[in-house]
Structure 1
Amino acid sequence: MPNSSVEAFRDAFRTSQHIIVIAGAGLSAASGIPTFRDGGGMWRSLDATALATPEAFSENPSLVWQFYHYRRTKALEAKPNPAHEVIAKMSVPLYIRKVAPEVKSFHLVTQNVDRLSVTALDSLVERLTADSGTAPARKRSIFPNSILEMHGRIFDVKCTVCDYCAEDRTDPLCPALGAADASFKDYHDAGSKEVNIPLDELPRCPACGALARPGVVWFGEKPYHLDEINSIIYKADMCLVIGTSSTVRPASTYAYRVQRHGGKVAVFNKDPSEKDERADFVFAGGCETVLPSLFPELVE
């Protein structure tokens, strides 16, 4: 049976040297980012998971781009919540050594594409710079490669033909997506209505002019950074699983690979599942409240 003792967890965390966080959609839920598998699992009465595939994009790029326009808009509106901020401080040796004085490495492996974890860390580094009155090199302020976005980035625009891929936070990316979105604002039976945007009016690659796609990893595609993540998993002695149902491979295997070589696993979920019973520690509740309560030293 997993433990829910705060003291026991903090004792284990305190002696950890190589810490990894595996984060999922629950981390950003309190920031207003809809998840695929809760109330946000439907979009215009359509199954969101069925739209996040190469096959769906090939069959109907107009519909898929409209779905990702919606997701981009939500991400642009969102701000990091207290859980993002606690994890950001774990990336900074100055802070995490208050709760894990022996730590040698920290990594966040996130399945989220919303960039909120990166935003939280960037804001923290800016504050450190302002407080010190100097401009400390980022590589000295945080652990190297501390955030690995294994499923890509929602704001990246990726060419379907050439190698172009770059962040673009323009909203909307093209006039046709904005017009299509506006047409649904007052439409109550959105599931029976479809706006078909011509291919030449969808986002195009600025380098070669070909059709562009969202720069995220779809179901059936290979995630990013797998070799690096595998190396991190191999040496991790503490794994925090935060806001993920642990159903999508390979991320669903990471925690228990840590456990198999003697590391500890702590799960933080609003509604822990039977699968979480294998963890060493389980804490139920919103991570935006649970994490700050467990690590008051990392809260300003």
Structure 2
Amino acid sequence: MKKKIVVLTGAGMSAESGINTFRDSNGLWENHDIMEVASPEGWRNNPALVLDFYNKRRAQLKEVKPNRGHEILAELEKNFDVQIITQNVDNLHEKAGSSHVLHLHGELTKVRSVADENYILDWTEDIHLGDTDTNGNQLRPQIVWFGEAVPAIEDAIPMMEEADIVIIIGTSLQVYPAAGLMHYAKSSTPVFYIDPKPATIYDLANPLEVLAMSASEGLSKIQNQLQIQ
């Protein structure tokens, strides 16, 4: 039976592909106040702005490619059972060939009804005001905004509990509940943390190796280590 690697990825995973990290040093996301474009209040105040913002992010996905880090995670499936839990809303893990990807915070390539969170459609083009579900309710991005529940966390927890190896990549570990997932791993499970500016991890009993480098550099090193073992 293949060992199970569970990978938690954040915005730094996609930075090498040209997608800006979620929260730049000035506190803005793509020059927008985050609460204007990533909260229910922002949606109520200006849905046209929110749709335009995500339409541009969705269009960007057609221009970017997976980086070497994404490719390595897909390659690891040859010898390991790899499950990816991502905070990212892009589809670069899938483009690289990863088979098992759980999106905690939604997906740019999907939409949902404002009236029914379970009414979800695949969507690769722009969303416009007036695009509706079958009952005439407006469609919105299938993105988990600040203040909304993160239902996928219920699927992520058992994945982490069963991990033989945990790899955390490109996340500041400040956004919950995702940041708390590593604490569900067995205390004997080794944890690798890859980030150019790694956060301090507190209260973790696991063996921990911190790699202060980019996603592709860190994953290349880990890939070599796993091949030697």
Rate the CA distance shift 1:220–1:289 in 2: closer, same or farther, 3 A.
same
Kept in 2: contact 1:157–1:167 (CA 8 A) = yes
- CA–CA distance in structure 1, aligned partners of residues 185 and 168 of structure 2: 11
- CA–CA distance in structure 1, aligned partners of residues 17 and 132 of structure 2: 31
What residue in structure 2 maps to residue 239 of structure 1? 166
- CA–CA distance in structure 2, aligned partners of residues 121 and 268 of structure 1: 21
- CA–CA distance in structure 2, aligned partners of residues 241 and 67 of structure 1: 28
Higher strand share: 2
Kept in 2: contact 1:266–1:280 (CA 8 A) = yes
The partner residue of 1:67 within 40, 53, 59 is 53
Kept in 1: contact 2:9–2:169 (CA 8 A) = yes
1:253 is paired with a residue whose SS is helix
Count of matched residue positions in the alignment of Structure 1 and Structure 2: 223
Structure scoring higher RCO (CA < 8 A, sep ≥ 6) equals 1
Query: Post-superposition shift, 1:287?
Result: 0.8
Structure with higher Rg: it is 1
Query: Post-superposition shift, 1:258?
Result: 1.6
Deviations 1:40-72 (A, max 9, x none): 852575322542111211122122112212221
Identical-residue share of aligned pairs (%): 32
Rate the CA distance shift 1:50–1:265 in 2: closer, same or farther, 3 A.
farther
Rate the CA distance shift 1:265–1:297 in 2: closer, same or farther, 3 A.
closer
Partner amino acid for 2:67? N
What residue in structure 2 maps to residue 251 of structure 1? 178
Kept in 1: contact 2:4–2:163 (CA 8 A) = yes
**After alignment, is 160-169 or 60-69 more displaced?**
160-169
What residue in structure 2 maps to residue 205 of structure 1? 132
Deviations 1:171-225 (A, max 9, x none): x344xxxxxxxxxxxxxxxxxxxxxxxxxxx151252332111011111222243
What residue in structure 1 maps to residue 107 of structure 2? 153
1:77 is paired with a residue whose SS is coil
**After alignment, is 284-293 or 19-28 more displaced?**
284-293
Query: Post-superposition shift, 1:237?
Result: 2.9
Query: Post-superposition shift, 1:26?
Result: 0.4
Query: Post-superposition shift, 1:292?
Result: 2.2
Alignment of 1:32-71 (within 5 A): 32-38=18-24, 41-42=27-28, 45-71=31-57
Q: Where does structure 1 lack aligned partners over 5 or more consecutive residues? A: 1-15, 98-102, 123-141, 175-201
1:289 is paired with a residue whose SS is helix
Deviations 1:224-257 (A, max 9, x none): 4322211112222321000111111111011133
Kept in 2: contact 1:153–1:216 (CA 8 A) = yes
Alignment of 1:101-112 (within 5 A): 103=80, 105-112=81-88
- CA–CA distance in structure 2, aligned partners of residues 276 and 285 of structure 1: 20
**Does 2:153 match 1:226?**
yes
Kept in 2: contact 1:35–1:41 (CA 8 A) = no
